[in-house]
Amino acid sequence: MFNIIKSLFVLIALCTLSSCYHRELLYSFDTSYGGVISGSSYYYLANAREFQMPKGISTFPDGGMSRDVRYLFGLFKTDTLTNSTVLVTRIGKVVGWPSRYSTRLDKNSSYIGIGIINVTQVDSINGIYLYNLKNNKFQRYSKESGLPAFTQNGLLMAYCIKNKLVISDYSSKNTLFSYLLNFVPEFVTWKSDNEIYLFLSNPFRVKILNISTGVTTDTRLKFIKNFDQEIDINQINRKIKDPSKESKAILDNNF
């Protein structure tokens, strides 16, 4: 019995020392489901990975899990004229990207607003972020889980934290209005400076809120997929020539 236990410990130790993973390094570049356009560039979120596939005992019981060697999650931009991709800024670490996350990017003439929500569990990366297109500064605006939307004039930002709609002056971080709703919107967009569309699911429908009165009314509008982002994942991926090569180049340039 002692010999069996000893053998198991040896096996575990060997696996820890990478003998249970193939030596070959593989690469992936997984983008968010949407993004925005500024100038000639697409901006979006992505996770670049360098990983090894399991072998032997590490493939049990369901094929096993790959092991990350290097990874980098952040905001990226791809020049649509040259199809060249660069990292704009790192953000943090994601687990289960992109299927476990809801994200939304919106922009005005000065900023890109980014919302990241892990829909399966509490996640330290959840929050709202702002990227300044003028000076390239990146900041975490809030740790609250929300998907931001800018007004058409670009002065205000709206987002929902569960059933609370928040409207803020993002430049001063002052909350101007806050409404408790009787439902939980999936996301919001602006109709005008005084009206906000509220997109709901289960069932899919769209309401509108008048900021001055706080009254919500039903509309006949159809629910917009992909959180009404400017570009979708297919448009992004068409500009990325070779995801594996792109991922390796990005990791090599940033490690």
Residue 8 lies in a domain: no
* Tally of domains in the chain: 1
Tell me how far apart the alpha carbons of residues 232 and 225 are, in angstroms, rounded to a whole number.
10
pTM for the full predicted model = 0.88
Tell me how far apart the alpha carbons of residues 53 and 211 are, in angstroms, rounded to a whole number.
53
Residue 70 lies in a domain: yes
pLDDT tens for the chain, 255 residues: list them.
555 655 555 555 545 544 688 899 999 999 999 999 999 999 999 999 999 998 866 566 555 788 999 999 999 999 999 999 999 999 999 999 999 999 999 999 999 999 999 999 999 999 999 999 999 999 999 999 999 999 988 889 999 999 999 999 999 999 999 999 999 999 999 999 999 999 999 899 999 999 999 999 999 999 999 999 999 999 999 999 899 999 999 999 999
Q: Between β-strands 195-200 and 138-142, what pairing exists: parallel, antiparallel or unpaired?
A: unpaired
Domain containing residue 109: CATH number: 2.40.128.630
Output the 3-class SS for 40-67: CEEEEEEEEEEEECECHHHHCCCCCCCE
Residue 122 lies in a domain: yes
Residue 63 lies in a domain: yes
Nearest to 223 by CA among 174, 188, 181: 188
Task: State residue 65's pLDDT score.
Answer: 82
